[in-house]
Amino acid sequence: MIGVAIGCLAKAVSLTPDGHEMKPTYIQRLGSAHRARYQTSAEPKDIDEAIRYQTIAVTLAPNTFAYKAHWMDELGQSYRARYDCNADLEDLNQAIAHYETALSSISDDYAYAPEVSYHIASAYSARFTKCGSQEDLGSAILSYQRASSPTAGSLNPPTAFLAARECAQLSSSHELPSALEAYQRAMELVPRVLWLGSTIENRYNRIRNMGDFTSEAASYAISLKSYDLALEWLEQGRSIVWNQILELRTPLDALSVVDMDLTRQLQSISRNLERAGSREANLISKFGEMLDLGREAQRHRELASEWDQLLAKVRKVPGFEEFLRPKRKEHLIDASKNGPVVVINVGETQGDALILVPNSSEIAHVPLQRISRSKALSLRVQFRPLLRDKGLLSRGTRGIKPYGYNPRVMFEKVLATLWIDVVEPVINFLGIRNELTNGGLPHVTWCTTGDLAGLPLHAAGLYDNSQPDALDLIISSYTPTISALLASFPNLSSKFSGILTVGQEHTPGFPRISNTITELAVIKEKFQALSPTYIQLEDDNATIDAVLSGMERCSWVHFACHASQKGDDPTNSAFHLYDGGLKLAAITQKSFNNKGLAFLSACQTATGAEDLPDEAVHLAAGLLMVGYPSVVATLWSIHDDDAPEVSRDVYMNLITENGPDHHEVAKALHTAVQKLRKKVGYKNFERWASFIHLGL
C-alpha cells in the first residue's frame, strides 16, 4: 500500500510545474512516504530518498509558510532515523541543526512545539552518549524541561510526560539534582495523559505504554529516603482508572452545606462522565445503524473540560483546597486502623516494603534486597503455567498433566521464594515471632505492585520443614490501593439487609459446575431464617437484570458461577449468567450503598490483566470499588468440592448473636482455609491457596 502511495506522489510531483504553490507539499509528502516505508523495510535507499525530498521541500517553502517549521522537524527526524541505523555522527548533527532551526521559528505555545523540543532533547542525549560532552548533557536536560513545561503539558500531555520521564532517567543516571523535579513533573502529568475525556479502554492502553514508570519513580524517591513521597507516588500512579471512578463517586455532603448548586453540577457531570467513559466503541443501534460516535466522543471531551473547570471552582471554596487532589501521607496513614498495611514496590535492582503501622505517623521502610523486577516477572511467568497445567483457569474443568512434570514442586518453589524474598522480612520487621498473639493472629493487608500482583503472598512459606508459614503467623488481606481501604471504612458500619445468592450449574456455552446446588443450599440453611431479605437466583432465573436488582436490594452477595478475565479489554471481564455476561463495566456504573460482603465463589475473580498488573482490573476489585468493603475471591479456579465447605465455614463464623456481621470476614476466611488445608494436605496448594480476602 505504501508503495502505491509513493508511486502516486512521485507522479504528482512530476506533473506539477515548478513554481506551483502545491509542489513543495507534494515533495514533502513523498519524502514522508519514503520514511514511512523505511520504518518497516529498513531499506537504506528509502531513508536517503526521504532526506533528499524533504530537503528540497524545505528549500522551496517560503519562510512565511505556516508548516515550514513542521517540515524542518520532519527532516530532522529523517536524519535521526538514519543516524540510528548507521551511527554516522554527521547525521545526528544535521538532525540537531534542523530541530533547532524549527524551534527557533515558533513560539512555546505553538501546537507542535513540545514535540520539537522533545526531538531536540532526545538527539542531544544521543550525542552525549556517543561523545560524552557535558554541554550536550546540559542541553538535553534543558530541552527535556522545555518539552515538559506547563505550557507543553497543556498542548501535548503524552509528549510532555515522555519528556519528563526521560529527563528524570537521564538526570538520575548521572546523579543530577534535576531528577527529583523531573519525576515530580511526570507524576503531575499522569492525570493529564489519562484524562477523563477519553474512554476507559483508551486510558488502559496509555497505562500500558507508561510501563513501570510509577515503580521507577517510587524507587528513586526511596533511594533518597523520601518514603512519604514514594508512598504518595505509588498511590497516585496505581489503579489510576479505579481511583478516577472513586473520585467521580466522592460523597459531597460537606460541599452541599456550603454550595448546593455547585454540588448538583458536580453530581450531574460525574454521572455523565462515568457513562461516557464506559461506552462501547462499537455500539450499534437498531437496524444495525452505527450511532454517531464522533458526536458522542466530542460530548465526552466537553464533559471532562466542564469537570476540570468545576474542580477548579470547588478548590477556591474555603476548606476545599485539597478536594480530589492526590492523597497525602497524612491521610493515607489512616488506612492502618485495623492492622499494618504493607505496600510493596519492586524496582529494577531491589524491592522495598513501605509499611503503615497502626498508631504511627511515620512510614516504615524494609528493604527487600533479594527481589527485583526481573525476578518478580520470573515468578509470575512460572506461576501462570502451574495453574494452566492443573486446569485451574476455569472452574468445572480439569487439566491434563504432562508426563514427568510435577507442578506441585514448582508451586512449592514459588511459595518458598515469596517467603524468603518478601514475606519473611516484613514479618520479622513487624516482630511477629509466634503463631499466636494476645487476641489472635495479627491482620496484615498487602498492597502489591507490578508482577508481584496476583501472587499468593498469603500462602508463602517453606513447606519442606516444620517452620511456621504465612498462614500460621498472620491473617492476610489484599487491597489494590490504600484509597480503596479508606473508601471502604464508611461502609464497614453498614447493617446487614439481606443476602443475594447466585448459582449457575449449567451456563450456556460453559462446562457444568458441580455442587453449586449444595453450595447455595448451605447458605440458605444459614440465612433464610435470619435474613430479612433472602434472594436465591439459579440457572434461567439468574439473568443480568435480576442479579443487578438483587445486588441493589441486599447488602451481601454470593456468586457461584463461571467468571472470566478479558485481557484485551479488562472492563469486559464478567460473571457468566444465564442470559450473558454481567460485565465489570456494568458493575462499575452502579453505586451500591450500605454494602457489606461479596463472596465470589467463581474462577479468576481476583486475576488481573497480565499487561496491567498495577491496575487491579478484576471482578473482585470492581466490587470493592463499587461499595463492598469486604470481598472474598479466588486467584484461580477452586475445586468444586471445596466451595460449599469453605462457604459454610466462613458464614458460620460471621453469624453472631446479633445477626450476620461482616466486620471480621478476613478472620473467618482464614479459619476456613486453615481447616481446608488440614483436610486436603499442606502441599495441596491448588486446593486451599486460591481463596483470598480483599478490603477491610
614-655 pLDDT, tens digit per residue, is: 777 788 888 888 889 999 999 888 888 898 999 999 999 999
Verify that 314 and 413 share a domain, yes or no. Answer: no
pLDDT digits (tens, 9 = 90+) for 177-228: 999 999 999 999 998 888 766 777 788 888 888 989 999 999 999 999 999 9
Verify that 370 and 400 share a domain, yes or no. Answer: yes
* Residue 242 falls inside a structural domain: no
d(CA 395, CA 392): 7
Verify that 569 and 661 share a domain, yes or no. Answer: yes
Verify that 335 and 442 share a domain, yes or no. Answer: yes
More confident residue, 14 or 288: 14
d(CA 542, CA 454): 29
Average pLDDT over residues 479-490: 88
Verify that 62 and 189 share a domain, yes or no. Answer: yes
Verify that 478 and 489 share a domain, yes or no. Answer: no
* Residue 286 falls inside a structural domain: no
Verify that 29 and 164 share a domain, yes or no. Answer: yes
Instruction: Report whether 185 contacts 226 (CB < 8 A).
Output: no
Residue 388: how many CA atoms within 13 Å on its side-chain side?
7
Name the phi and psi angles at 75, rounded to 5.
-65, -40
Instruction: Report whether 147 contacts 123 (CB < 8 A).
Output: no
Confidence tier at 400 by pLDDT (50, 70, 90): very low
What's the chain's average pLDDT? 87
* Residue 98 falls inside a structural domain: yes
d(CA 96, CA 386): 51
Which pLDDT does position 364 carry in this prediction?
98
d(CA 103, CA 105): 5
Verify that 474 and 490 share a domain, yes or no. Answer: no
Q: Which of 144-158, 272-286, 573-587, 671-685 has the lowest mean pLDDT?
A: 272-286
Range of the domain at 501: 483-695
CATH number at 523 reads: 3.40.50.1460
Q: Which of 20-24, 56-60, 404-408, 517-521 has the lowest mean pLDDT?
A: 404-408
Q: What percent of the chain has pLDDT over 90?
A: 57
Q: Compute CA distances 474 → 304, 585, 693, whole Å.
A: 44, 34, 13
Is the pLDDT score of 292 beyond 90? Answer: no
More confident residue, 178 or 66: 178
Confidence tier at 405 by pLDDT (50, 70, 90): very low
Q: What is the CA 487 to chain-centroid distance, rounded?
A: 18
Confidence tier at 508 by pLDDT (50, 70, 90): confident
d(CA 170, CA 148): 14
Pairing of strands 363-368, 351-356: antiparallel
More confident residue, 318 or 417: 417
DSSP string, 656-671: ETTEE--TTHHHHHHH
pLDDT digits (tens, 9 = 90+) for 219-248: 999 999 999 999 999 999 988 887 777 676
pLDDT digits (tens, 9 = 90+) for 129-162: 999 999 999 999 999 999 999 888 878 889 999 9
* Segment (H or E) for 68: helix 68-86
Q: Give the 3-state secondary structure of residue 331.
A: helix
Output the CA torsion 101→105→109→110 (10° steps): -90
Verify that 543 and 440 share a domain, yes or no. Answer: no
**Who contacts 20 (Cβ-Cβ below 8 Å, separation ≥6)?**
none
Our count of domains for the chain comes to 4
Instruction: Report whether 596 contacts 662 (CB < 8 A).
Output: yes
Instruction: Report whether 515 contacts 641 (CB < 8 A).
Output: yes
Confidence tier at 401 by pLDDT (50, 70, 90): very low
Which pLDDT does position 507 carry in this prediction?
82
d(CA 683, CA 462): 11
* Residue 234 falls inside a structural domain: no
pLDDT digits (tens, 9 = 90+) for 69-118: 999 999 999 999 999 999 999 999 999 999 999 999 988 888 889 999 99
**Who contacts 354 (Cβ-Cβ below 8 Å, separation ≥6)?**
222, 227, 230, 231, 234, 342, 343, 344, 345, 363, 364, 365
Q: Give the 3-state secondary structure of residue 342.
A: strand
CATH number at 84 reads: 1.25.40.10
CATH number at 463 reads: 3.30.420
Average pLDDT over residues 467-483: 95
Q: Give the 3-state secondary structure of residue 582.
A: strand
Which pLDDT does position 288 carry in this prediction?
36
Verify that 190 and 200 share a domain, yes or no. Answer: yes
* Residue 84 falls inside a structural domain: yes
Q: In 10 A of CB 623, how many CB atoms?
A: 29
Cut 0.85: pTM above it: yes
Is the pLDDT score of 39 beyond 60? Answer: yes
Verify that 462 and 542 share a domain, yes or no. Answer: no
d(CA 490, CA 258): 22
* Residue 269 falls inside a structural domain: yes
* Residue 530 falls inside a structural domain: yes
* Residue 245 falls inside a structural domain: no
Which pLDDT does position 403 carry in this prediction?
40
Pull the grid cell for residue 303.
464533559
Which pLDDT does position 679 carry in this prediction?
96
Is the pLDDT score of 334 beyond 80? Answer: yes
Which pLDDT does position 569 carry in this prediction?
65
Is the pLDDT score of 471 beyond 80? Answer: yes
Confidence tier at 568 by pLDDT (50, 70, 90): low
Nearest to 538 by CA among 584, 578, 586, 582: 578
Burial class (CB in 10 A: 0-12, 13-18, 19+), 356: buried
Verify that 669 and 532 share a domain, yes or no. Answer: yes
Q: What percent of the chain has pLDDT over 70?
A: 90
